[in-house]
Amino acid sequence: MRIAMIGTGYVGLVSGACFADFGHNVICVDKDSGKIDALLRGEIPIFEPGLDALVASNVKSGRLGFSLDLSEAVKTADAVFIAVGTPSRRGDGHADLSYVHAAAREIAANLRDFTVVITKSTVPVGTGDDVERIIKEANPAADVAVASNPEFLREGAAIRDFKHPDRIVVGTDDERARTVISEIYRPLYLNQAPIMYTGRRTAELIKYAANAFLATKITFINEIADLAERTGADVQDVARGIGLDNRIGAKFLHAGPGFGGSCFPKDTRALVKTGQDYDAPLRIVEAVLTVNDNRKRAMARKVSAALGGNLRGKTVGVLGLTFKPNTDDMREAPSIPLITALQDLGATVQAYDPVGMEQARHELPDITYCDDAYACATGADALVIVTEWEQFRALDLAQVKQKMKQPVIVDLRNIYRPEEMEKAGFTYESVGRGK
């Protein structure tokens, strides 16, 4: 199959490289010449484990290419994937579809033989209809089918998620489109990944419902964590105890500082808007958004409480800035509102992140960036673990203690055991582990 991938962000680049690895011929297109130049030089614009090697080997084999020229890539393609950004629109929280619509218009002008146009970007219900209308208006003679094929990969585990998905969702009623898409995914269903065919609007809604449900699970356990703290229960055991019930499932029950990232916050907001537009309000998801937003500031108050309720003149070290480990992505990272709240409460903040500091500087210009975790502990009145990078799981506690002004650790990811911390001489606060 010949594939054009429009957009070389997370989803586009990972999907393009994986499709090439399946044996297809893929051209990844982007308007950003800096990005395309970097990719042509072999540089990967995002941090994603394994992606550099995957891109390099498929470029070498000649199956993966990068280009600024959408028209050439589309003209020769059997399938064109739209994987451009759908950020939150400023002001109202709706998904901004201007990049999707622009891509549809450009694709329309370059369609030749039968082509399947597939949205992989996360798009609100009905966007496939818009794309089809835009293409048909711009090029009434086009022999085209428009399908939806949402992506469920997680940053930091993107290649594994792409190659071993729980399911592949394909939304189209068009037989020819189904044939093309099933050919594209053949290597996966040979590996027994279930392919689910459904209507286009249903596929679009599946993506939002999945993300909203996962965000709800996290928010639910976060509130249970607060209750566990006040009642002397342990949220980790509660999560295990409910997660062993197959109807609930063990995943996404890890309490923490609230969810962030490029997907959950934006997608839950957009889903709430769609619900309001269609007069079918999603009250649970609305509550999830409010609870999650408030949580980040509440975490700053937790730090303050650990230092006796006053942060004026105190230095707080923050370990981990990205919204999760194994990514350099700072989009909607909980560290941002948390650090801002610490500063509002009078603290001076110093921080360390293994790969996210360059991105973080744009969001958090007025904190001190440290060279490693120990430098971040130096002179600190409290050390706050915000992102659970592997390297923070086995710190030399004696060294940390010796460098800190006061031995206070606030672990917002529960990566240490209270007993070991107490033994090491720390005042230790974590999430949802009541005493």
Report the interface residues with ligand UGA, using CB under 6 A: 122, 151-155, 211, 214, 218, 252-254, 256, 259-261, 263-264, 323-324
In the complex with ligand UGA, the residue whose CB is nearer, 114 or 213, is 213
Give the active site residue among 18, 28, 263, 370.
263
* 435 assigned to a ligand binding site: no
- How far are the Cα atoms of 103, 387, 435 from residue 412, in angstroms, in the given order? 41, 8, 16
- Residue 136 CB, shortest distance to ligand UGA, in Å, is 29
In the complex with ligand UGA, the residue whose CB is nearer, 95 or 404, is 95
- Residue 211 CB, shortest distance to ligand UGA, in Å, is 5
In the complex with ligand UGA, the residue whose CB is nearer, 211 or 315, is 211
- Rounded CA-CA distance 282/273 in Å is 9
* 266 assigned to a ligand binding site: yes
- Rounded CA-CA distance 143/148 in Å is 17
* 136 assigned to a ligand binding site: no
In the complex with ligand UGA, the residue whose CB is nearer, 99 or 426, is 99
- Residue 269 CB, shortest distance to ligand UGA, in Å, is 13
- Residue 386 CB, shortest distance to ligand UGA, in Å, is 10
Strands of 134-193, DSSP E: 144-148, 168-171
* 155 assigned to a ligand binding site: yes
In the complex with ligand UGA, the residue whose CB is nearer, 122 or 127, is 122
* 54 assigned to a ligand binding site: no
Indicate the SS3 state at residue 324.
coil
- How far are the Cα atoms of 132, 270, 414 from residue 93, in angstroms, in the given order? 24, 6, 32
* 296 assigned to a ligand binding site: no
Catalytic residue flag (residue 28): no
Beta bridge partner(s), residue 6: 29, 82
- Rounded CA-CA distance 275/284 in Å is 11
User: Which residues neighbour 49 within 8 Å (Cβ) at sequence distance 6 or greater?
Assistant: 156, 157, 159, 326
Indicate the SS3 state at residue 126.
coil
Q: Quick one: DSSP state of residue 389?
A: -
- Rounded CA-CA distance 379/383 in Å is 10
Annotated binding site for NAD(+): 30, 35, 86, 122, 155, 266, 331
Active site residues: 263
Annotated binding site: 30, 35, 86, 122, 152-155, 207, 252-256, 260, 266, 324, 331
Annotated binding site for substrate: 152-155, 207, 252-256, 260, 324
